[in-house]
């Protein structure tokens, strides 16, 4: 469904992604793990059109979408839960969700998806009139996920959805990702929480300073010695 | 002061306050999204007034048509200014864009001087608007009512757009976070253009009504009202539309009442706004309704 070919992205003189290739098959959960600064967020930002790729290709359903503007990428069916949630603090929960559907025009379908998001997160429905900035961290994370779902994406990209959440909530978020995936959405997931991500995903890429160091089915990587040492902190 | 004098002063104060509100909105909307003081905004009053003037007296168009065309033209000028003078500097330091804004303002003023000469022209006021109505023994010119009425309608319309439409929600989102708004599929450039169009159209209405109230127009006519409206926006809490409206309204009312009650200081009328500005910056830098506007993410 999504394919990156030799993608390179730089910030000025610093090259953050140095020839990355990966593919995300339809219906699967693919995880991107790696140390801080490995280039995970940069990769997602390039896919969603927030920064330009220097070279390489981004293909979605066979279509070359390299350096497309963000609004076209959303329309095509890719949405993102950005790193650090980034809900709009002085908009209400409801307004945040509505913005998630900004590119859509079918009112009935939007209303249906809003209902679905409220079913997924009853808490958001209770607080739909509340300013997003006054939600707790966990609630903001739910809102960020709900907002991304409101564009009815085929591919949902999540940048560290469990960041800063209490362990119980982390488990909930992972269960949720599974549910979203089972409802038919393909998922590209970035996680610091490598063990949970590898257990959940169908396939994973381990990034090191802008390149793929290792790849394979999640369960296999869990048994890999290097992964266990470096990313799972085992002896 | 007699009651009738008080009431006519009040009517005058309310209409001046309305004009300030209309123009202050443009400053506050642009500042909210771009963190830029659009100095050229003041000169749009002049652009609109001259456009309407030429429409009526040179092209012999009906008054209403001239006004409509002048508003559209001014909105276009506002959008063009953003495209040419601010957009290329969007990623530059704020001060660079600010200097560009001052440059555009000088450009418009001097272009005005060259095209229209510095000699004031009398603005054609339709008979109905120039006439007065007697209400309980108090004579008030009709334009005074029209200003308050038109302003009220436009403000309600604006609040509706900002709070109830998708585009309005996108505008408010943009005021916080460009990148995340982009992720939602918002076309940042076109929402910014729209913001300039709305702010400039309101300034145009303000400029034309200003010219109807004080029917002598000259190329520098926007400078002083513009500065005061900027002050009104700061006073109300820059970035906050309702704040700009309240700030403009209070400033206009206070200015007229000050002159009415203390005729001896009427020479300091224009200085009053600046005293408000200094006091705001000293004692409540965020303005009446403003919250901390942090650096944008
Ligand atoms: N706006 C920027 N300007 C300059 N350099 C940047 C910018 N954003 C990221 N970088 C650099 O690019 C590299 C990759 O950053 P990126 O955010 O993609 O890492 P990451 O894998 O998401 O890390 P983390 O797990 O900490 O979120 C880092 O070295 C970072 O310093
Ligand atoms: Mg990151």
Calculate mean pLDDT across residues A16-33: 96
% chain B with pLDDT above 70: 97
Confidence of residue A228 (pLDDT cuts 50, 70, 90): confident
Tokens of B194: 């729209």
Q: Could you identify the atom of ligand 1 that is nearest to the CA of residue A39?
A: 18
Q: Do A151 and B184 touch (CB under 8 A)?
A: yes
Residue B215 has pLDDT above 60, yes or no: yes
Burial class (CB in 10 A: 0-12, 13-18, 19+), B205: buried
pLDDT at A167 over 60: yes
Q: How far apart are CA B256 and CA B260, in angstroms?
A: 6
Token representation of residue A194: 């490598």
Which residues are CB-neighbours of A60 under 8 A, at least 6 positions away? A1, A2, A3, A76, A77, A78, A155
Please report the DSSP string for B5-53 in residue order: HHHHHHHHHHHHHHHHHHHHHHHHHHHHHH----TTHHHHHHHHHHHHH
Return the closest-CA partner of residue B255 out of B278, B232, B238, B234.
B232
B19-70 tens-digit pLDDT: 999 999 999 999 999 999 999 999 999 999 999 999 999 999 999 999 999 9
pLDDT computed for residue A230 by the predictor: 79
- Give the integer Cα–Cα distance in Å for B96 and B112: 24
pLDDT tens per residue across span A48-59? 999 999 999 999
Task: Please give the average per-residue pLDDT across B175-185, as a whole number.
Answer: 95
Whether the predicted pLDDT of A232 surpasses 90: no
CA nearest A138: which of A149, A151, A127? A127
User: pLDDT digit string (tens) for A183-199?
Assistant: 999 999 999 888 899 99
Report chain A residues touching chain B, CB-CB < 8 A: 48-50, 69-71, 74-75, 79-80, 82, 86, 88-91, 95, 98-100, 102-103, 147, 151
Cα gap A191→A189, rounded to integer Å: 6
CB B259 within 8 A of CB B269: yes
Q: Whose CA is nearest to atom 27 of ligand 1?
A: A36
Q: Is the pLDDT of residue A235 over 70?
A: no
User: In b/e form, how buried is each residue of A145-167, taking b as 16+ CB within 10 angstroms?
Assistant: bbbbbbbbbbbbbbbbbbbebee
Rg over alpha carbons for chain A, rounded to the nearest Å, is 17
Contact between A197 and A161 (Cβ < 8 Å): no
Per-residue model confidence as pLDDT tens digits over B259-277: 999 988 888 888 999 999 9
Which residues of chain A neighbour B185 with C-beta distances below 8 Å? Answer: 70-71, 74-75, 102-103, 151
Q: Dihedral through CA B177, CA B180, CA B183, CA B185, nearest 10? A: -40
Ligand nearest to the CA of A191: 1
Find all residues with CB under 8 Å of A97, minimum gap 6, and list them.
A114, A117, A124, A128, A143, A146, A147, A150
Residues shown for chain B:
297
Nearest CA to B43 out of B82, B86, B74 is that of B74
What pLDDT does A134 receive?
96
Q: What is the pLDDT of residues B129-140, one digit of tens each?
A: 989 888 877 888
- The partner residue sitting opposite A103, judged by closest CB among B176, B177, B185, is B185
Would the pLDDT of A231 be above 80? Answer: no
Nearest of A61, A64, A50, A52 to residue A5 by alpha carbon: A64
Structure tokens at B190: 């076109």
Tell me what ipTM this predicted complex has.
0.93
Sheet holding A155-159, edge to edge: A78-81, A155-159, A186-190, A29-34, A203-208, A211-216
Tell me the average pLDDT across A144-163.
96
Q: Which residues contact A206 (CB under 8 A, 6 or more apart)?
A: A33, A34, A212, A213, A214, A215, A221, A227, A231
A8 to A53, A81, A214, B216: CA distances (angstroms): 6, 22, 18, 61
* pLDDT per position as a tens digit, B285-297: 999 987 665 555 5
Threshold 0.90, pTM exceeds: yes
Cβ atoms of B8 and B256 closer than 8 Å = no
Position A169 scores a pLDDT of: 86
Ligand approaching nearest to the C-alpha of A15: 1
Number of CB atoms found within 10 A of residue B115's CB: 10
Looking at ligand 1, which residue's alpha carbon is closest to its atom 4?
A11
Among A14, A34, A158, name the best residue to mutate to test ligand 1's pocket (greatest count of ligand atoms within 8 A of Cβ).
Answer: A14
Mean pLDDT of B141-147: 94
Q: Of A4-13, A90-99, B3-12, B216-225, where does mean pLDDT reach its minimum? A: B3-12
């Amino acid at each position: 469904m999504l394919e990156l070919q030799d993608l390179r992205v730089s910030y000025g003189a610093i090259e953050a992604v140095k020839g990355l290739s990966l593919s995300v098959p339809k219906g699967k959960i693919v995880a991107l793990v790696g140390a801080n600064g490995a280039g995970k967020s940069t990769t997602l930002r390039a896919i969603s059109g927030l920064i330009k790729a220097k070279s390489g290709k981004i293909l979605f359903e066979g279509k070359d979408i390299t350096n497309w503007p963000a609004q076209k990428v959303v329309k095509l069916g890719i949405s993102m839960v950005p790193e650090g949630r980034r809900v709009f603090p002085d908009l209400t929960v409801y307004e945040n969700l509505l913005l998630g559907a900004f590119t859509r025009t079918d009112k009935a379908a939007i209303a249906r998806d809003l209902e679905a998001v409220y079913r997924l997160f009853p808490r958001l429905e209770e607080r739909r009139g509340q300013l997003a900035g006054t939600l707790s961290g966990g609630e903001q994370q739910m809102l960020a996920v709900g907002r991304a779902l409101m564009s009815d994406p085929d591919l949902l990209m999540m940048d560290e959805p469990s960041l800063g959440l209490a362990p119980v909530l982390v488990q909930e978020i992972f269960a949720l990702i599974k549910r979203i995936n089972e409802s038919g959405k393909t998922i590209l997931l970035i996680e610091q929480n490598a063990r949970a991500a590898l257990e959940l995903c169908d396939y994973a890429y381990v990034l090191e300073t802008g390149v793929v160091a290792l790849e394979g089915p999640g369960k296999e990587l869990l048994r890999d010695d290097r992964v266990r040492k470096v990313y799972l902190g085992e002896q | 002061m007699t009651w009738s004098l008080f009431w006519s002063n009040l009517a005058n104060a309310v209409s001046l306050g309305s004009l300030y509100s209309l123009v202050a909105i443009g400053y506050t909307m642009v500042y909210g999204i771009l963190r830029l003081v659009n100095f050229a905004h003041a000169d749009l009053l002049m652009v609109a007034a001259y456009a309407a003037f030429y429409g009526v007296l040179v092209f012999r168009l009906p008054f209403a048509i001239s006004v409509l065309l002048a508003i559209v033209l001014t909105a276009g000028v506002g959008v063009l200014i953003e495209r040419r003078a601010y957009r290329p500097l969007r990623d530059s330091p704020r001060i660079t864009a600010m200097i560009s804004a001052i440059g555009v303002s000088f450009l418009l003023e001097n272009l005005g001087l060259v095209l229209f000469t510095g000699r004031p022209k009398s603005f054609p006021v339709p008979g109905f608007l120039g006439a007065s109505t007697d209400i309980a023994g108090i004579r008030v010119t009709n334009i005074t009512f029209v200003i308050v009425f038109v302003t009220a309608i436009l403000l309600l319309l604006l609040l509706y757009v900002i709070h109830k439409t998708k585009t309005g929600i996108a505008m408010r989102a943009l005021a916080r976070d460009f990148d995340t708004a982009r992720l939602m599929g918002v076309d940042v450039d076109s929402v910014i253009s729209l913001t300039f169009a709305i702010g400039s159209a309101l300034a145009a209405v303000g400029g034309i009504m200003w010219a109807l109230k004080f029917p002598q127009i000259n190329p520098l006519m926007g400078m002083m009202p513009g500065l005061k409206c900027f002050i009104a926006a700061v006073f109300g809490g820059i970035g906050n539309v309702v704040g700009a409206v309240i700030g403009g309204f209070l400033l206009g009312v206070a200015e007229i009442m000050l002159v009415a009650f203390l005729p001896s200081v009427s020479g300091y009328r224009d200085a009053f706004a600046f005293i408000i500005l200094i006091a705001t910056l000293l004692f409540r830098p965020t303005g009446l309704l403003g919250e901390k506007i942090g650096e944008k993410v």
